[in-house]
Amino acid sequence: MAESERNVMERVDRSSEPPSTGEPAPACTFQVQSLSIWYGEKRAIDNVSMDVASNAVTAIIGPSGCGKSTFIRALNRMHDLVPKTRVEGKVLLQGDDLYSGSIDPAIVRRRVGMVFQKSNPFPTMTIGENVVIGLRLNGIRDQKFLNERLEKSLQMAALWDEVKDDLHKPGTSLSGGQQQRLCIARALAVEPEVLLMDEPCSALDPIATAKIEELIYELKSKYTIVTVTHNMQQAGRISDYTAFFYLGKLIEFGPTTKIFTNPSDRQTEDYITGRFG
């Protein structure tokens, strides 16, 4: 009997068992509490509170300028690098307040990796150097360890088989989709707890997009993933939870299936069905 058939038979056997009484609440990696962010006088994020579930994909959707990118950048303190930015409220990562004075932003960014819209391998570095640069910057010099981590990270980013014989070539010699996976490998090399992705597929063709989506699906067993996307179908395919932002406010947040079949808020419905504005 084929494995798929065995699975079906097991399901038939189990179907006589009583249903479980309710799902336990998922563990959460981030607890965002009353978060507001200002760029000078402009309030880009307005009093947002939400919990980000562990080992799940959370998609952030909303029209341009609604605060999606601002929100996920707050999850690894990237606003520290932007002058005149002010952050209020709390972002707890596994209970640690990222904005308390006692936390080193460099450590935050090691725990929370980020992949951007446009792939950005370091142009003067080889493929191999690009992947392990984070480890080198952290003072790791053990070549055996670096080689192991290099292979592991590229394997996890589903790029190893394509580049294993070309590790000495420049990172920029790869295709757009491969470069994006290289950036994911670079983010994974420092073994973060969370992977933030800001429109990771928006510059890619459908095949490269499918590979990244498949990768996201596989990575969520090990990482908590938060991704910004403008693509409603992609949000529906890859995410477990969806948050809809509008004008800096979190309008609706819930399981993706619920948001995309029966959103509670009229604004969410109008946005996802394309009736906005």
Partner 1 sequence: MIAPRHILGTFDEALASLRNNVLMMAGLAERSLDRAMKGLFERDDELCAYAIADDEEIDQLEMQIDKDGVAILLRFQPVASDLRRVVAAMKLSSNLERVADQATNIARRARKLNQHPPLTEVELIKPLHEQAMSMFKDSVDAFVREDVELGRAIVPRDEKLDDLNRVASRKLIERMAQDPDQLRGYLNLMFISRHLERVGDHATNIAEDAVYAAAAEDIRHQGAAATA
Binding residues for partner 1, rule: CB under 8 A, are 232-233, 236, 260-263, 268-270, 272-277
Give least dist CB 263 to partner 1, A: 6
Would you say 103 or 210 has its CB closer to partner 1? 210
Strand order in the sheet with 194-198: 112-115, 194-198, 224-228, 57-61, 241-246, 249-255
Residue that is written with structure tokens 């909303």 in the block: 62
Would you say 118 or 266 has its CB closer to partner 1? 266
Would you say 22 or 95 has its CB closer to partner 1? 22
Would you say 83 or 277 has its CB closer to partner 1? 277
CA-CA distance, 184 to 175, in Å (whole number)? 14
The two tokens of residue 30 are 């981030």
Q: Which stretches of the chain are assigned E, i.e. beta strand?
A: 28-39, 42-53, 57-61, 85-93, 96-97, 112-115, 194-198, 224-228, 241-246, 249-255
Give least dist CB 3 to partner 1, A: 30
Give least dist CB 274 to partner 1, A: 5
Give least dist CB 232 to partner 1, A: 6
